[in-house]
Each structure stands twice: as C-alpha cells, then as structure tokens.
Structure 1
Amino acid sequence: MMRLCSKKAARGFSLTELMVALLLGSFLVAGVIGVYLSNVSTNRVNQQISELQQASQVSFQLLSQDVQHAGYAGCGNVMAAHVFNALNPPLAWWNNWTGGIQGFDSGGFPDFSNGAVVPLPNTDALQVMYGRGVSASVVSHNAAGNPAMVINQNLAGIVANDIVMSCDSKWGLIFQVTAVNGTDLSHAVGAGAPGNRTLQFGVAPNGVAYQRNISSDAGFVMPMESAAWFVGTRNNLNSLYRVVVVAGQVRVEEIVPNVTNLQLQYLQRGTANYVDASAGVVWENVVSVRAVLTLADNPSAPVALALREISQVVNLRNR
C-alpha cells in the first residue's frame, strides 16, 4: 500500500531560506571574482615588470657597448692633447675629440639630432667616440703626397667622406677621407663636409705648423664612430634615443619608448665617488659610468618607482 507523504515533507524552501542561500552564493561568487580580478591585476603588473626588464636590458646592452669602446683609437689610449684634428671649424659634437667620452647634465647638451628630437628637460646625456670596426695598418703616409696614405687592406670599409682616426705610438690624427682608390686614401683640403682645413698636421712648441706624418711603424687608421645617448620627445612620446654619425650623416635611432629620465655619473681615476658631469670631470680620467634609467608607469597596472628605475655601471676598457 503506497505510503502518502506528509504535508510537511512535501513542502519546498521558504523565502527566507532562499534569500539566505542567495546571499551566501553572492559572497562566494564575489570572492571568486575578487580572486580573479586580483590575479588579472597581478599578471598585468608582472607583465609590465617583465617588459620593463627587457627594455632596460636592451638599452643597457647597447649603451654598454658604446661606453666600453669609448676612447679606442687603434693605438691604445690617445690623449686629447696628442690628437691633431684637421677638420674645418666649427667642430660639431661628433668630430670634436675629447678623449672619447663626454657627459652633459640637466638638458644642457648639444642638439644631437639636428632638431629631429626635442631633449627632455632635466635629463642627462652622454657622447662617446671611438674607432669603429677593423683597423688598417699604415704602409706609408705623406700628407702632401698623392696618394697621401697607403694602407695594407681596407677591411674596415673606409669610403669617401668618412671621418677617420689615424695614430701611431706618439700621436693621433683626425681627418676626412676625400677619396678612396683600393688601399690609397686621400685627405685633400677644400673637399667634403666639413672638409680638411690643412695638411700641416704638426704644431711646434712655438705654435708654428709643420708637416707631420703618421709613422708606418705601428701606425693604424680606422673610421671614427660618434654616438650620443639622451632622452627626448618625438610625436608626443618620450623615448631613449641613440644618435650615430656615419660618413657625416646623422642617424637617429629610437632605442626604448616610454622613458622618463636618464641620469649619469662618472668615476675618475684615483677617486672613490661617482660625480655629475658638472662637477668638473676630466674626461680623459673617466674609468666608469653609472647610468640610471627611469621607465614610464602604466596607470592601468602601476609599478613602484623602485622597480621602474634601472641602474647599471659600465667600465671603460680603454683607460
């Protein structure tokens, strides 16, 4: 005989029970959503930190290469006082040898990009110069001769209009190549831009100019690389830029976007502390550079300033 269920047993949930269940379910869903949103936010921050680290790694790798090569001339460390610059004045930042490195504080630096990029105020800049590529040995050099210089082989790919640096064990010479014919290099006066102002490469103690030639004994010649690093604004975006000059032509390279600051300090031989460029740095005595790069924050995933400031110390090899 079928047993009939009681009226009480057949009753469903009450309104109060349903409301309590919905409330508890809402708390559970809210907790799950909170955990999800927290994970999304954490992933965004971690992704930004990863991107910041990658950007700083790329920038410092390239900067380190320039700084480590600064001052290299093929003949060891050539002091600025022993380098004769035969180029026509006024000398631009990219052909004025100051020992291979020079820093600038708080936006007070040359127009490296010829107006293509506006420097960001209160940021520092760095200029480096060095011999680029493979050096060639000087077979003979007669400043007044034709050809003026003969080299053993042109592995460095020296071409007309290149600014080159030549040196031997006693001195260095900066000039513009006006013509290349195999292993023959010419440096005539009155051709090219900026061009060479003289063939009298020597200056006696009394100030009188005389003809001086690079010795074929341990003499070298190689293209001169000039590069500048600074933070600037172009198309309303702040970026870290590298400007390089090849054969007298300025090339602007955007290295890392969304950069808000670059600060530089220098350690000089025989000193214990890094100082700003404005502290009267003797550039030929600089043995190390400390760079601090600040990357822009992302409002959608804020990152602490300490994580956006990346610093690195680079030692010069040619000191």
Structure 2
Amino acid sequence: MMNRQTYRAHMGFTLTELMIALLLGSFLVAGVIGVYVSNIQTAQVQQKLMQSQQSSQVSFQLLSRDAMHAGFTGCANMIPQRVVNVLNPPLAWWAIWTAGIQGYEQGAVPQFAGADIPPVAGTDGVQLMYGRGTSASIVSHDLTAVPPMVINQNVAGIVADDIVLACDSKMAVIFQVTGIVGNNISHAVGAGAPGNASLNFGFGANGVNFQQSLSADAGTVMPLETVGWFVGTNADGNSLYRVALVAGQMRTEEILPGVENLQVQYLSRDSANYTNANAVPDWEQVVALRATLTLANDAKMPVAAGLRTFTQVINLRNH
C-alpha cells in the first residue's frame, strides 16, 4: 500500500507550490536584472566622468600655456606705462596692454570682438597677452629707411598684417607689420587694418611719445598673442571658448562644449588669498590664477556638481 509521501512524489507539485516558485524566481531574476542595470549605469557614469576629466585636463593645458606666457615681451617684464601702442585708435580690447593679464568678473565679461558669441551670465572671463613664439633679433631699425627694420631671421614666422610686439632695453612698442620680404619688415603709416597711426615709437618722460628707432642692442620683435577665455552660448548650448588674435584678425575656437560655468580668481604678490577680478589692486602684481570649470549636467545621466567641477592653479612665469 502506497504511503502519503510516496503518493505526493508521484503526484508532483501543486499549483500553489508552482506559483510560489515562480514568484520567488521572478524576485530573483528581477534582483539580478536590477544589479545588472545598476552596474551598466555605474559604468556609464564612470566613463562619462573619465571623459569629463580628460576634456577638462586638455582645456586646462591650453589655458595654462596662455597664462604661463602672459606678460612676456621678449626683452624684460614691461610695465604698462612703458609699452607704446601706435595702432590707429580706438584701440580694440586685444591691443591694450595691461601687464599681460586682465580678468573680468561675472557680469562684466566683454563680448570679445570677432567672436560674436555672447558670454554666459554668471561666468568669468580672462584676457592674456604675450609675445608669441621665438623672438627675432633686430639687426637695424631706421624709421626713415626703406624698409625700416631688418631682423636676423624670421624664426617667429611674422607675416604681413601681423600685430607685433617689439622691444629693446628701454621700451616696448605694439605696431602692425604692413609688409615683409625675407628679413625686412615694413610698418607704414595709414596702411592695413587697423593700421599704424604714427611712427612715435619713443617713450617720452612726460608721457608724450616721439619718433625713435628701436635699438639693435638687445632689440627683438615677435607676433603679439592676445587671447580671451570665456564661456559663451550657442545653438547647441554653452561652451568654453578661446578667442585669439592671428595676423591682425580674431579667430574663435570652441575648446570644450557642454560647460556650465567658469570661475577665475587671482593671487597677488605678498597676498595669502585668491581674490576675484574686481578686487585685484594691480595686475602687475598677480603671480597666479585659479580656474574652476564646471561641466553641464546631463539630464539622462545626472552627476553631482562636485564630480563635474575641476580646478587648476596656474603660476604666471613673467610676473
């Protein structure tokens, strides 16, 4: 005679038992799927963070290059009062020498001419100026000669219409090259855009400039590099931009798309704290800047602001 246990073994599982098993199995599968999806999302977030870090590092490398060169004239560090500018007025933002660096606090960032891209409200900007590349030595300079300036070799790649920075042991001058043939440079008055207003390269003690040739003794010339860094808005959102002066024309480069904010603070000599641009008493005394870049958040893959914010401290070598 068959006992109860043997009978149940032959009968199989009841419907209730099967439903319980299916329910428990569903919970198990759902848990595994949840863990899998969570791992995929975590991997995507980590990859996005890694890409953001790499992008911000490239941006900081480019900014560091400009900042570390800021203020370089080829001869010596020149105070703004000893840099003569003979370009036709009104002088554009890129032609006004301010110790090689000028910061703009949020709400005061200019719309850098040539970019045609409005800055984003609440973000900072910075302007950096320096002599670009390798300087050429001045062999001779005579304002009345044709051509007036002869250099040893055109190692800096100077071309016609370039805005250049030339200097000797006493002064520096910003002017436009109106022609170059081999090692011979012309800087005629009234030609080109913006063009040269005069040949008053000399720096007068009373503030009145006069005609004076640059000295071949320690005299050098190189292209003037003026760049503006800011966050601007376009049809696709906000991006980090670099505006640069090249051969007398402004060129706009989109450095990094998807940027929410840029904040820049400055450290002055004999100061222990970084300050905003509107609190800098003398740009000649700025020795370092601290840039903080915040990338925009992705609604489909949100990341905390602290994880998409990156900071870089850059020392100025020519201050």
Q: Give 1:263-278 correspondences, 5 Å limit.
A: 263-278=263-278
Distance 1:112 1:207 in 2: 29
Q: CA deviation at 1:8?
A: 4.4
Corresponding residue SS for 1:10: helix
Partner of 1:107: 107
Q: CA deviation at 1:144?
A: 2.7
Partner of 1:35: 35
Contact 1:116/1:234 (<8 A) preserved = no
Partner of 2:144: 144
Q: CA deviation at 1:7?
A: 4.8
Question: Any stretches of 5+ residues in structure 1 without a counterpart?
Answer: 1-5
The question of 1:186 aligning with 2:183 is answered: no
Contact 1:161/1:247 (<8 A) preserved = yes
Query: Deviations for 1:281-309, whole angstroms, at most 9, x for unmatched residues?
Result: 31111110100001011122221111111
Question: Any stretches of 5+ residues in structure 2 without a counterpart?
Answer: 1-5
Query: Deviations for 1:199-251, whole angstroms, at most 9, x for unmatched residues?
Result: 12224334554222211111100001111100001114100000111011111
Partner of 1:220: 220
Partner of 1:155: 155
Distance 1:9 1:36 in 2: 37
Change over 3 Å in CA distance of 1:259–1:123 after alignment to 2: same
Contact 1:294/1:310 (<8 A) preserved = yes
The question of 1:284 aligning with 2:265 is answered: no
Distance 1:7 1:171 in 2: 110
Partner of 1:26: 26
Matched residue type, 1:274: Y
The question of 1:45 aligning with 2:45 is answered: yes
Partner of 1:68: 68
Query: Deviations for 1:138-187, whole angstroms, at most 9, x for unmatched residues?
Result: 01111232211110011111111100011112111111011111111111
Contact 1:239/1:259 (<8 A) preserved = yes
Deviates more, 1:142-151 or 1:167-176: 142-151
Distance 1:208 1:116 in 2: 36
Partner of 2:201: 201
Partner of 1:3: none
Matched residue type, 1:77: N
Contact 2:126/2:229 (<8 A) preserved = yes
Distance 2:299 2:40 in 1: 15
Q: CA deviation at 1:34?
A: 1.2
Distance 1:81 1:209 in 2: 11
Partner of 2:77: 77
Partner of 2:58: 58
Query: Deviations for 1:78-117, whole angstroms, at most 9, x for unmatched residues?
Result: 2111111111111111111111110101131222153531
Distance 1:32 1:206 in 2: 82
Paired positions, count: 315
Q: CA deviation at 1:66?
A: 0.4
Contact 2:167/2:214 (<8 A) preserved = yes
Query: Deviations for 1:33-74, whole angstroms, at most 9, x for unmatched residues?
Result: 111111012112111111110111111010000000101111
Distance 2:13 2:209 in 1: 110
Q: Give 1:304-319 correspondences, 5 Å limit.
A: 304-319=304-319
Q: Give 1:226-265 correspondences, 5 Å limit.
A: 226-265=226-265
Corresponding residue SS for 2:275: coil
Deviates more, 1:189-198 or 1:137-146: 137-146
Contact 2:132/2:224 (<8 A) preserved = yes
Distance 2:209 2:288 in 1: 36
Distance 1:39 1:209 in 2: 70
Distance 1:215 1:222 in 2: 15
Distance 1:113 1:25 in 2: 66
Distance 1:179 1:228 in 2: 27
Distance 2:31 2:280 in 1: 60
Contact 1:204/1:210 (<8 A) preserved = yes
Question: Taking every aligned residue pair, what percent have the same amino acid on both sides?
Answer: 59
Contact 2:141/2:150 (<8 A) preserved = yes
Partner of 2:303: 303
